């Protein structure tokens, strides 16, 4: 019996195919075009919404006491800026938002990671998380302001109480749903528990964490308004409350518009951050 030699089993590659190299992939502009079209659609949606707002306010309602138009809202912003009060209000509300959002998000990620990795901690903390998450902030804000005073930190605590719980839930869900095969592969290469958490579970849960941050933006802005409505010396919520008591609808809508624009901007920035840190999630259809 003759055994065929190795050279006799040699197969010639097909024309145009290079052994040991993957064929070059043509660059695709699909994602870039999709991103540009999304921005265009969102921009057109905002323009159409503002136009409808102007038409309804000017022709259907016709009374700024009930609905200020976009032009009147811009005039209100100009008047607030000229008087000098808007700069102080933006500074105060901005500090409350930034401190509350950052502290609440960091604490939520930490607690979410703990309860995802430790079953005893989860059983102990879950009832409190569920209970406080379901408690209306309108009921807690007066108590928090009574405890922490009328300064900035009472509003920061209100913002933290709104931001922390969605972040805990999202972080815990992201770590808990990590593919077990990925953990096994990391352990098979000698990865310790900390390395598996840092290099596998944390990266897997990153889209969940970023989604929690996007949720936290809106809740943080709500916390700023609620905190300042119940007791403040300055801030956009304080300005909205004063404008409401004086029936000054242009300035009231000016404060609301600033909060709305802030929410849009911060949410967009977090979406861009997701494309950078978690492109595998951001590019899903």
The structure tokens listed for 72 are: 């009147």
User: Does residue 42 belong to any structural domain of this protein?
Assistant: no
User: Does residue 29 belong to any structural domain of this protein?
Assistant: no
pLDDT tens per residue across all 285 residues of the chain: 444 444 444 444 444 434 344 344 444 455 656 667 777 888 888 889 888 988 888 888 877 778 888 888 898 898 888 887 888 899 999 999 999 999 999 999 999 999 988 889 989 998 988 888 888 888 888 888 888 887 888 899 999 999 999 999 999 998 988 888 888 888 888 878 788 888 888 888 899 999 999 999 999 999 999 888 887 788 888 888 888 888 888 889 999 999 999 999 999 999 888 888 878 775 554
Domain range holding 78?
66-282
Q: How many domains does the chain have?
A: 1
Give the sign of the dihedral formed by CA 142, CA 146, CA 150, CA 153: negative
- Would residue 151 be called left, alpha or beta, if left means φ above 0 and alpha means ψ between -120 and 50 degrees? beta
The structure tokens listed for 125 are: 């903390």
Closest by Cα among 82, 92, 95, 94 to 232? 92
Return the CATH number at 253.
1.10.3720.10
Percentages helix, strand, coil for the chain (3-state, rounded to 5) are 80, 0, 20
User: Does residue 199 belong to any structural domain of this protein?
Assistant: yes
The structure tokens listed for 137 are: 């902030």
Do 93 and 159 meet the contact criterion of CB atoms below 8 Å apart?
no
The structure tokens listed for 284 are: 């899903």
User: Does residue 58 belong to any structural domain of this protein?
Assistant: no
Q: What is the pLDDT of residues 193-250, one digit of tens each?
A: 788 888 888 888 899 999 999 999 999 999 999 888 887 788 888 888 888 888 888 8
d(CA 226, CA 156): 11
Do 112 and 167 meet the contact criterion of CB atoms below 8 Å apart?
yes
User: Does residue 13 belong to any structural domain of this protein?
Assistant: no
């Amino acid at each position: 019996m003759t055994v065929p030699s190795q050279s006799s089993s040699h197969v010639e590659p097909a024309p145009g195919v290079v052994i040991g190299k993957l064929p070059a992939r043509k660059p695709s502009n699909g994602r870039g075009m999709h991103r540009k079209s999304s921005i265009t659609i969102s921009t057109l949606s905002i323009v159409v919404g503002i136009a409808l707002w102007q038409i309804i306010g000017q022709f259907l309602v016709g009374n700024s006491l009930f609905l200020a138009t976009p032009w009147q809202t811009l005039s209100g912003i100009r008047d607030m800026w000229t008087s000098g009060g808007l700069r102080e209000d933006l500074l105060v509300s901005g500090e409350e938002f930034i401190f509350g959002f950052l502290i609440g998000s960091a604490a939520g990620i930490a607690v979410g990671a703990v309860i995802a990795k430790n079953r005893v901690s989860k059983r102990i903390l879950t009832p409190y998380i569920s209970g406080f998450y379901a408690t209306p902030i309108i009921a807690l804000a007066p108590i928090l302001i009574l405890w922490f005073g009328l300064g900035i930190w009472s509003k920061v605590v209100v913002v933290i109480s709104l931001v922390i719980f969605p972040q805990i839930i999202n972080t815990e869900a992201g770590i808990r749903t990590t593919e077990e095969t990925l953990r096994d592969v990391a352990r098979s290469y000698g990865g310790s528990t900390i390395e598996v958490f840092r290099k596998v579970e944390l990266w897997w849960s990153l889209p969940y964490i970023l989604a929690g941050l996007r949720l936290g933006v809106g809740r943080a802005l709500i916390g700023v308004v609620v905190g300042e409505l119940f007791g403040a010396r300055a801030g956009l919520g304080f300005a909205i409350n004063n404008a409401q008591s004086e029936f000054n609808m242009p300035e009231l809508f000016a404060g609301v518009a600033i909060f709305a624009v802030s929410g849009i901007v911060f949410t967009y920035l977090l979406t861009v951050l997701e494309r950078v840190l978690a492109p595998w999630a951001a590019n899903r259809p």
